[in-house]
C-alpha cells in the first residue's frame, strides 16, 4: 500500500470506529434503561421486598404482579443482551480504531500523535483499551454510558480539526514527542475514567442518601464508596504519569526546543493548573469536610481543566503548543 | 497529606489573647491541611489570567499590541501585575505561603516518621473478629510452631512475636504482630521535600541565568557580548561581564518546506551550519544547529528559534558612491513568509535614504496593479517591494531606534510619475535608479537569516532532579498501602490450638479479606488444621497478651485516611 492508501484506510477506519462506538454507546444506554425497567418491575411485587419499594412506587395487586414479574424477566433479559452487545461492539470499535491509528502512523511515517486530530484518536484508543482491561478485571462496565459517550463525542469532534497525514513541523520532530505526548495521553485516559467514576459516584451517593435509597438501575451499580475508590485509584495512577508528562518530560523537551524548561506558555499554564487541581483532589480526599462529594466535584473540575488544556488552549490561545492544525 | 498530623482544623477555637499563642494559632492554621488545600486551589486559580492576558516574559510584542487595543484597560491591568502574573506579588505570595505551609507540615512529619520507624508493630486488638477482615481455624500443632510458621508466612514485614508461658514453661498463647508499608510515608515526605527543592532550583535559575536573542544572516557572525543581542533579559544576580566569550559564524542556512500535497508550505527542517569558537584563541569548530538540537558551548546554549530571509541590498547614492551593502533581515509575518523590513542608509549624500517594504519568497501576482502575495515560504520567485524615502532618518537625535522601523517624521516619500508613491519591485540582480538622481538600489542576492537564542540556566538540573526524585516518592506514596496483620494462637484445654488471623489497612482497600484468607490458607498448609473454623466472637477473649487493645483498635481505625 502507498502512503496515500494508508491515509485513506485510516480515515475510513476512524469514521467507522466512531459509528460502531456510537452503537455500542446506544446499547449501553439500552442496558441501563432495560435494567431500570427490570428493577421497577421487581419492586412492584408486594411480596418481594417491601423495604426496597421507594416512596414513589405504588403498590399493585397480586394479579398485576405476575405481569410485572414476566415484564421484569423480559426487561432483565434485554438488559443483559444490550450489555453484551455493547461490550462486543466496543471491542469491535476498538479493533477498527486501532487499525485506523496504526495506518495513520504508517501514512505519516511517525507516531500517530503529532496534532490534535491524532491526539484524540490515539487518546480514545488508550481510553478504550484501559476501559476494557478494567471491565474484564474489575467489572467496571457500569461506566459504559459515560466512557463510551465521551469517546464518541471526542472522536466526532476531532474530525473538525482533521489534518491530512504528513510529516511533522521541525519543532515537533523529536523523540520527546513519543515520550511526552504518550505520557500525556495515558494520564488523560486515566483522568477520563476517573472522572466518569466521580460523576456516577456523585449520582449514586445522592441516591443513597435519599429516603428509600437508590432506585432503578442505580440500585444495581456498585456502592458509591466503591465508585469513589475506583475514581481515586485511577487518578492515583494517572497523577504521577501526568507529573512525568507535564513537569519532567515537558520541561526537558522545552529546554531542547525553546531554550527554557518552563516559560508559562498557555499550554504549560493549563498543564500546571491541571496538576495543581488534581493535587488538590488527592489532598481533599484526606481532609475532613472535603472527603466524598466535595472531593469528587474537585476531581471533575480538575478533569475540566485537563480538557481545556487539550481543546481550549489548542484552539483559542496562540502559543508554542498550537498544534491543532 | 493526612490532616490528623497537621494540627487542628480551621474550626478551632478563637485565638487566645497572648502573642505567643496567637502566633502559634496562626502557624497551626497555616500548616493545616485545609489551608494547604485552599492555597493549592488559589494557586490554580491565580495561574489562569496569565494564559488569557499576554505576558511580557513570553511575548512582549503581544503585550504592546494589547496596550494599543485596550488603551483604558491595559494600564489598570498592568498595575495589577496582569502582564507578569507569575512574578507578581500576589502570585508569589500564594506560592510562598504554600511553601511555608508545606515546610510547616513536613518538619513535624519527619519527626513522626522517624519515631514510627523505630516503633514496633502495635499489639493486636483484643477482639480480632471485629476488624474489617479476620478468620480463624483450629490446629493440633502447638502454639510455638504456629507462631513460627506465621512469621514465615507473613513474608516481608516488620514482625514481633510475643509469647506467654504457663507455670511449666510451655508456651500457651502468643501473637505475631506485623506491619508493612513504611515506604508510603517516606515517599510522601520525599515528594513534598522535593517540591521545595524544585522551587529553590527554579528561583536560582531565574536569578543567575540570562537569555538573549540575535539575528545572524548567512555569511555573518556573532560574538557573545551584550551589544550583539536584539533582546536580552537576565536574572537579578547575573553580571553581564560573565557572558561566556564565545563567537560563531553562520555559513549556511538550509530551510525545507513541504513542496506539494495537502500540507504544502509546512516547514520540514531548518539547519544552521557554521563554526563556533569557544573562547578567543581557540580553534573554530564546525557546528550544525537544528530545532530541538541546541548547540552547547562552555557556559551557554545556543538554540535555533527562528529564521527568515535577508536580501542583500546595495545602495549607491547621488554622488555615485556605494554607501550601503549588507544583508537586511526581513521579519516573516505569516506562514508563507511574507516579510517586512527596513533599509536605512545614513551615509547617502546629498540626503539620507530610507526604504521600507516587504519581501516575498514566492511572489505571485494577484491582479493588475495589486501588490503581489507570497504563495509559498520557499524562495522560488523572490521579490523585494519597497517604498523609498529621502531626508533625515532621525538617527542623530540620540534616541535609540529599532532597526525594523523607519522614522518618517523628517522623510519625504519618492513619488512616481503618476503621482502615487513610488513602488520599487526588485528581483535578485535587478537594480533601479531613484528619481532626481538621488542614487540607485540593487537587490544583489538573497540570503537567509537565523534567529538564535543564547542562554544559560545555571542549576537547571536541580529542579529536574528534584521533580524526578519527587515523582518516585509520589508513586510510592500513592501505590504503597500500609497494612497491619496479626496472627494470634492460643492453646485450649483440650490441647488444640486456636489460630486467629486478622488485618487492618490504614488505607481501606477491597482485597483485605482475600489476603487474610490467603494468609490463613498458607498458614493452614504449614500447621495442618482440624477442619472446622472456630468462632472466636462467641467466646470472651481471655489472652493476657492482649491487654487494653481496644485502644489500639480505635487508633488504627481512626487513621484510615490516605496520606
Considering only CB atoms, B267 lies closest to which of A169, A269, A282, namely: A169
User: What is the least distance, in Å, from the CA of A169 to any CA of chain B?
Assistant: 5
Q: Is B467 near chain A, with CB under 8 Å? A: yes
Contacts of A248 in chain B (CB under 8 A): 464, 467-468, 471
pLDDT in the model for residue B164: 87
Residue written as grid cell 515546610: B103
pLDDT in the model for residue A65: 45
DSSP run (H or E) holding B226: none
Contacts of A298 in chain B (CB under 8 A): 41
Contacts of B62 in chain A (CB under 8 A): 318
Residue B562 DSSP code: -
Residue B5 predicted with pLDDT over 70: no
Residue written as grid cell 549556511: B252
Indicate left, alpha or beta for A41 from its phi (over 0: left) and psi (-120 to 50: alpha): alpha
Considering only CB atoms, B1 lies closest to which of A255, A277, A283, namely: A283
Q: Do A266 and B51 touch (CB under 8 A)?
A: yes
Nearest to A201 by CA among A235, A175, A177, A169: A235
Residue B554 predicted with pLDDT over 80: no
Q: Is B513 near chain A, with CB under 8 Å? A: no
pLDDT in the model for residue B562: 35
Q: Is B58 near chain A, with CB under 8 Å? A: yes
Task: Evaluate whether residue A80 is within a structural domain.
Answer: no
* Residue of A4, A261, A302, A304 to mutate, interface with B, max B Cβ within 10 Å: A261
Exposure class string for B210-246: b at 16+ Cβ within 10 A, else e? bbbbbbbbbbbebebeeebbeebbbbeebeeeebebb
pLDDT in the model for residue A82: 95
Nearest to B394 by CA among B384, B402, B385, B386: B402
Task: Evaluate whether residue A273 is within a structural domain.
Answer: yes
Task: Evaluate whether residue A244 is within a structural domain.
Answer: yes
Considering only CB atoms, B305 lies closest to which of A229, A259, A305, namely: A259
- Number of helices and strands in chain B (H, E): 11, 25
Q: Give the burial class of B162: count Cβ atoms within 10 A of its Cβ; 0-12 exposed, 13-18 middle, 19 or more buried.
A: middle
Nearest to B480 by CA among B188, B177, B156, B117: B188
Q: Band of the pLDDT at B311, cuts 50, 70, 90? A: very high
Considering only CB atoms, B262 lies closest to which of A164, A273, A284, namely: A164
Residue written as grid cell 479476620: B134
Alpha carbon distance B510, A198 (integer Å): 18
Considering only CB atoms, A286 lies closest to which of B40, B294, B561, namely: B561
List all residues of chain B from 359 to 398 with a beta carbon under 8 Å from chain A.
none
Domains of chain B by start residue, with CATH: 3-117 (no CATH), 121-181+481-558 (3.30.310), 196-306+453-468 (no CATH), 310-444 (no CATH)
Residue written as grid cell 478485571: A137
* Nearest C-alpha in B relative to A4: B261
Nearest to A93 by CA among A132, A135, A37: A132
Alpha carbon distance B166, B22 (integer Å): 57
pLDDT 10s digits, B458-499: 888 899 999 999 999 999 998 888 899 999 999 888 888 999
Residue written as grid cell 525553546: A258
User: What is the least distance, in Å, from the CA of B255 to any CA of chain A?
Assistant: 10
Q: For residue A182, give every residue at least 6 positions away whose Cβ sits within 8 Å of its Cβ, in sequence order, or none.
A: A111, A113
Average pLDDT of the segment spanning A235-264: 92
Residue A67 predicted with pLDDT over 80: no
* Residue of A117, A248, A276 to mutate, interface with B, max B Cβ within 10 Å: A276
User: What is the least distance, in Å, from the CA of B277 to any CA of chain A?
Assistant: 20
Q: Give the burial class of B18: count Cβ atoms within 10 A of its Cβ; 0-12 exposed, 13-18 middle, 19 or more buried.
A: exposed
Residue B128 DSSP code: G
Q: Is B196 near chain A, with CB under 8 Å? A: no
Listed in sequence order, the DSSP H helices in chain A are 3-43, 62-108, 116-138, 144-158, 175-176, 182-209, 224-242, 250-258, 266-284, 293-307, 313-316
pLDDT 10s digits, B332-362: 988 889 999 999 998 888 889 999 999 999 9
Considering only CB atoms, B292 lies closest to which of A173, A243, A280, namely: A173
Residue B381 DSSP code: B
Strand partners for B213: B231, B453
Average pLDDT of the segment spanning A203-222: 88
pLDDT 10s digits, B249-292: 999 999 998 887 777 888 888 999 999 998 888 899 999 999 88
In total, how many domains does chain A have? 1
* Three-class DSSP labels, B310-354: EEEEEEEECCCCEEEEEECCEEECCCCCCEEEEEEECCCCCCEEE
Considering only CB atoms, B262 lies closest to which of A166, A169, A277, namely: A166
Q: What pTM was estimated for this model as a whole? A: 0.84
Q: Half-sphere exposure (CA, 13 Å, Cβ side) for B148?
A: 8
Considering only CB atoms, A248 lies closest to which of B44, B266, B468, namely: B468
At B267 the three-state DSSP class reads strand
User: What is the least distance, in Å, from the CA of B314 to any CA of chain A?
Assistant: 33
Q: Is B563 near chain A, with CB under 8 Å? A: yes
Averaged confidence pLDDT in chain B = 84
Contacts of B471 in chain A (CB under 8 A): 240, 243-244, 247-248
Alpha carbon distance B524, B521 (integer Å): 5
Nearest to B56 by CA among B85, B26, B32, B28: B85
Q: Band of the pLDDT at B561, cuts 50, 70, 90? A: very low
Residue A114 and residue A324 in contact, taking contact as beta carbons nearer than 8 Å: no
Which has the higher per-residue pLDDT, A153 or A4? A153
Task: Evaluate whether residue A243 is within a structural domain.
Answer: yes
Q: Do B460 and A261 touch (CB under 8 A)?
A: yes
* Nearest C-alpha in A relative to B509: A229
Residue A77 predicted with pLDDT over 70: yes
Q: Do B303 and A259 touch (CB under 8 A)?
A: yes
Q: Half-sphere exposure (CA, 13 Å, Cβ side) for B377?
A: 23
Dihedral angle sign, alpha carbons of residues A113, A119, A121, A124 = positive
Considering only CB atoms, B40 lies closest to which of A163, A244, A276, namely: A276
DSSP run (H or E) holding B502: strand B497-505
Task: Evaluate whether residue A238 is within a structural domain.
Answer: yes
Q: How many CB atoms lie within 10 A of CB B115?
A: 9
User: What is the least distance, in Å, from the CA of B76 to any CA of chain A?
Assistant: 22
pLDDT 10s digits, B55-108: 888 878 888 889 999 999 999 999 999 999 988 999 999 989 999 999 998 999
Contacts of B37 in chain A (CB under 8 A): 280, 283-284, 287, 290
Residue A193 and residue A130 in contact, taking contact as beta carbons nearer than 8 Å: yes
Secondary-structure breakdown of chain B: helix, strand, coil percentages, each rounded to the nearest 5:
35, 30, 35
Among residues of chain A, what percentage have pLDDT more than 90?
Answer: 60
Residue A258 and residue B303 in contact, taking contact as beta carbons nearer than 8 Å: yes
pLDDT in the model for residue B529: 80
Q: Do A260 and B455 touch (CB under 8 A)?
A: yes
Q: Band of the pLDDT at B14, cuts 50, 70, 90? A: low
Q: For residue B285, give every residue at least 6 positions away whose Cβ sits within 8 Å of its Cβ, in sequence order, or none.
A: B275, B276, B277, B278
Q: Do A286 and B1 touch (CB under 8 A)?
A: yes
Q: What is the interface pTM, i.e. ipTM, of the complex?
A: 0.84
DSSP run (H or E) holding B444: strand B439-456
Task: Evaluate whether residue A185 is within a structural domain.
Answer: yes
Which has the higher per-residue pLDDT, B403 or A182? A182
Nearest to B124 by CA among B145, B147, B141: B147
A181 vs A116, A131, A167, B461, B475, CA distance in Å? 11, 20, 16, 22, 20
Task: Evaluate whether residue A28 is within a structural domain.
Answer: no
Alpha carbon distance A258, B301 (integer Å): 11
The x, y and z cell numbers of residue B179, run together, are 506491619
Contacts of B55 in chain A (CB under 8 A): 264
Q: At A290, give phi and psi (nearest 5°).
A: -115, -25
Residue B58 and residue A263 in contact, taking contact as beta carbons nearer than 8 Å: yes
pLDDT in the model for residue B234: 84
Alpha carbon distance B139, A181 (integer Å): 57
* Nearest C-alpha in B relative to A263: B58
Task: Evaluate whether residue A227 is within a structural domain.
Answer: yes
Q: Is B50 near chain A, with CB under 8 Å? A: yes
* Nearest C-alpha in A relative to B198: A247
Residue B485 and residue B151 in contact, taking contact as beta carbons nearer than 8 Å: no
Nearest to B549 by CA among B119, B121, B173, B124: B124
Residue B532 predicted with pLDDT over 60: no
Which has the higher per-residue pLDDT, A187 or B171? A187
User: What is the least distance, in Å, from the CA of B544 to any CA of chain A?
Assistant: 36
Nearest to A222 by CA among A138, A282, A131, A133: A138
Question: CA angle B321-B323-B329, nearest 5°?
Answer: 145
Residue A307 predicted with pLDDT over 60: yes
* Residue of A4, A229, A239, A264 to mutate, interface with B, max B Cβ within 10 Å: A264
* Nearest C-alpha in A relative to B262: A164
Give, to the nearest 10 degrees, the angle between helix A293-307 and helix A266-284: 170
What residues make up the domain containing A324? 168-325
Question: CA angle B251-B252-B256, nearest 5°?
Answer: 165
DSSP letters spanning B132-179: SEEEEEEESS-HHHHHHHHHHHT-SSEEEEEEEE-TTS-EEEEEEEEE
Alpha carbon distance B246, B276 (integer Å): 7
Nearest to A217 by CA among A30, A57, A23: A30
Residue B210 and residue B187 in contact, taking contact as beta carbons nearer than 8 Å: no
List all residues of chain B from 272 to 291 with a beta carbon under 8 Å from chain A.
290-291
Q: Is B40 near chain A, with CB under 8 Å? A: yes
User: What is the least distance, in Å, from the CA of B460 to any CA of chain A?
Assistant: 8
Residue B238 predicted with pLDDT over 50: yes
Amino acid at each position: 500500500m502507498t502512503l496515500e492508501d494508508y491515509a485513506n484506510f485510516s480515515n475510513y477506519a476512524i469514521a467507522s470506529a466512531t459509528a460502531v462506538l456510537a452503537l455500542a454507546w446506544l446499547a449501553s444506554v439500552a442496558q441501563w434503561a432495560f435494567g431500570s425497567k427490570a428493577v421497577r418491575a421487581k419492586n412492584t411485587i408486594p411480596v418481594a421486598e417491601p423495604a426496597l419499594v421507594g416512596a414513589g412506587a405504588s403498590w399493585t395487586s397480586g394479579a398485576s404482579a405476575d405481569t410485572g414479574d414476566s415484564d421484569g424477566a423480559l426487561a432483565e433479559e434485554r438488559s443483559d443482551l444490550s450489555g453484551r452487545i455493547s461490550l462486543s461492539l466496543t471491542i469491535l470499535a476498538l479493533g477498527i480504531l486501532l487499525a485506523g491509528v496504526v495506518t495513520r502512523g504508517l501514512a505519516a511515517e511517525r507516531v500517530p500523535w503529532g496534532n490534535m486530530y491524532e491526539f484524540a484518536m490515539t487518546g480514545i484508543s488508550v481510553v478504550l483499551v484501559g476501559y476494557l482491561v478494567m471491565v474484564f478485571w474489575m467489572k467496571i462496565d457500569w461506566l459504559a454510558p459515560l466512557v463510551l459517550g465521551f469517546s464518541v463525542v471526542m472522536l466526532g469532534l476531532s474530525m473538525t480539526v482533521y489534518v491530512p497525514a504528513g510529516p511533522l513541523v521541525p519543532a515537533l520532530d523529536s523523540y520527546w514527542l513519543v515520550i511526552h505526548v504518550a505520557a500525556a495521553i495515558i494520564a488523560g485516559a486515566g483522568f477520563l475514567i476517573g472522572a466518569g467514576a466521580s460523576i456516577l459516584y456523585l449520582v449514586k451517593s445522592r441516591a443513597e442518601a435519599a429516603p428509600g435509597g437508590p432506585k432503578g438501575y442505580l440500585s444495581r451499580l456498585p456502592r458509591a464508596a466503591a465508585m469513589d475508590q475506583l475514581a481515586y485509584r485511577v487518578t492515583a495512577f494517572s497523577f504521577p504519569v501526568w507529573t512525568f508528562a507535564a513537569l519532567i518530560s515537558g520541561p526537558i523537551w522545552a529546554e531542547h526546543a525553546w531554550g527554557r524548561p518552563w516559560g508559562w506558555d498557555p499550554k504549560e499554564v493549563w498543564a500546571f493548573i491541571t496538576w495543581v487541581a488534581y493535587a488538590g483532589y488527592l489532598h481533599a480526599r484526606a481532609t475532613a469536610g472535603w472527603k466524598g462529594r466535595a472531593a469528587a466535584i474537585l476531581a471533575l473540575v480538575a478533569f475540566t481543566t485537563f480538557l481545556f488544556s487539550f481543546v481550549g488552549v489548542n484552539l483559542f490561545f496562540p502559543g508554542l503548543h498550537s498544534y491543532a492544525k | 497529606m493526612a490532616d490528623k498530623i497537621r494540627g487542628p482544623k480551621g474550626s478551632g477555637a478563637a485565638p487566645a489573647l497572648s502573642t505567643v499563642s496567637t502566633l502559634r494559632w496562626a502557624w497551626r492554621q497555616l500548616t493545616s491541611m485545609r489551608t494547604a488545600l485552599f492555597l493549592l486551589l488559589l494557586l490554580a486559580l491565580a495561574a489562569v489570567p496569565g494564559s488569557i492576558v499576554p505576558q511580557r516574559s513570553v511575548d512582549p510584542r503581544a503585550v504592546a499590541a494589547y496596550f494599543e487595543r485596550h488603551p483604558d484597560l491595559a494600564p489598570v491591568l498592568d498595575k495589577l501585575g496582569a502582564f507578569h502574573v507569575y512574578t507578581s506579588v500576589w502570585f508569589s505570595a500564594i506560592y510562598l505561603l504554600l511553601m511555608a505551609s508545606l515546610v510547616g507540615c513536613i518538619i513535624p512529619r519527619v519527626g513522626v516518621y522517624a519515631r514510627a520507624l523505630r516503633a514496633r508493630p502495635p499489639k493486636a486488638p483484643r477482639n480480632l473478629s471485629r476488624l474489617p477482615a479476620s478468620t480463624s481455624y483450629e490446629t493440633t500443632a502447638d502454639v510455638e510452631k504456629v507462631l513460627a510458621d506465621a512469621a514465615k508466612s507473613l513474608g516481608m514485614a516488620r514482625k514481633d512475636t510475643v509469647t506467654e508461658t504457663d507455670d511449666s514453661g510451655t508456651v500457651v498463647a502468643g501473637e505475631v504482630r506485623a506491619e508493612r508499608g513504611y515506604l508510603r510515608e517516606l515517599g510522601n515526605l520525599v515528594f513534598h521535600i522535593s517540591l521545595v527543592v524544585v522551587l529553590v532550583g527554579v528561583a536560582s535559575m531565574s536569578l543567575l541565568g540570562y537569555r538573549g536573542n540575535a539575528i545572524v544572516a548567512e555569511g555573518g557572525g556573532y560574538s557573545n557580548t551584550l551589544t550583539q543581542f536584539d533582546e536580552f533579559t537576565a536574572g537579578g544576580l547575573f553580571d553581564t561581564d560573565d557572558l561566556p566569550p564565545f563567537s560563531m559564524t553562520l555559513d549556511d542556512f538550509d530551510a525545507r518546506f513541504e513542496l506539494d500535497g495537502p500540507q504544502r508550505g509546512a516547514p520540514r527542517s531548518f539547519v544552521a551550519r557554521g563554526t563556533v569558537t569557544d573562547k578567543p584563541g581557540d580553534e573554530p569548530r564546525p557546528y550544525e544547529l537544528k530545532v530541538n538540537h541546541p548547540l552547547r558551548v562552555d557556559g551557554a546554549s545556543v538554540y535555533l528559534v527562528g529564521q527568515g530571509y535577508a536580501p542583500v541590498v546595495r545602495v549607491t547614492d547621488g554622488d555615485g558612491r556605494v554607501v550601503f551593502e549588507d544583508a537586511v533581515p526581513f521579519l516573516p509575518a505569516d506562514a508563507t513568509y511574507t516579510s517586512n523590513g527596513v533599509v536605512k542608509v545614513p551615509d547617502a549624500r546629498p540626503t539620507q535614504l530610507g526604504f521600507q517594504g516587504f519581501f516575498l519568497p514566492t511572489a505571485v501576482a494577484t491582479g493588475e496593479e495589486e501588490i503581489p502575495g507570497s504563495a509559498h515560504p520557499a524562495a522560488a520567485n523572490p521579490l523585494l517591494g519597497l517604498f523609498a524615502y529621502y531626508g533625515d532618518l532621525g538617527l542623530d537625535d540620540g534616541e535609540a531606534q529599532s532597526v525594523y522601523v523607519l522614522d518618517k517624521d523628517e522623510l519625504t516619500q519618492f513619488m512616481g510619475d503618476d503621482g502615487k508613491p513610488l513602488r520599487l519591485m526588485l528581483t535578485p540582480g535587478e537594480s533601479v535608479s531613484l528619481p532626481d538622481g538621488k542614487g540607485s538600489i540593487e537587490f544583489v542576492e538573497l540570503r537567509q537569516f537565523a534567529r538564535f537564542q543564547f542562554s544559560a540556566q545555571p542549576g537547571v538540573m536541580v529542579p529536574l532532579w528534584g521533580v524526578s526524585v519527587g515523582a518516585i516518592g509520589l508513586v510510592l506514596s500513592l501505590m504503597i498501602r500500609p497494612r497491619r496483620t496479626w496472627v494470634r494462637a492460643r492453646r485450649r484445654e483440650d490441647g488444640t490450638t486456636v489460630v486467629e488471623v486478622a488485618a487492618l489497612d490504614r488505607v481501606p482497600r477491597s482485597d483485605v479479606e482475600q489476603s487474610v484468607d490467603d494468609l490463613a490458607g498458607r498458614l493452614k498448609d504449614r500447621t495442618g488444621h482440624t477442619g472446622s473454623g472456630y468462632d472466636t466472637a462467641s467466646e470472651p477473649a481471655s489472652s493476657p497478651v492482649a491487654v487494653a487493645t481496644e485502644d489500639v483498635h480505635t487508633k488504627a481505625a481512626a487513621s484510615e485516611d490516605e496520606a
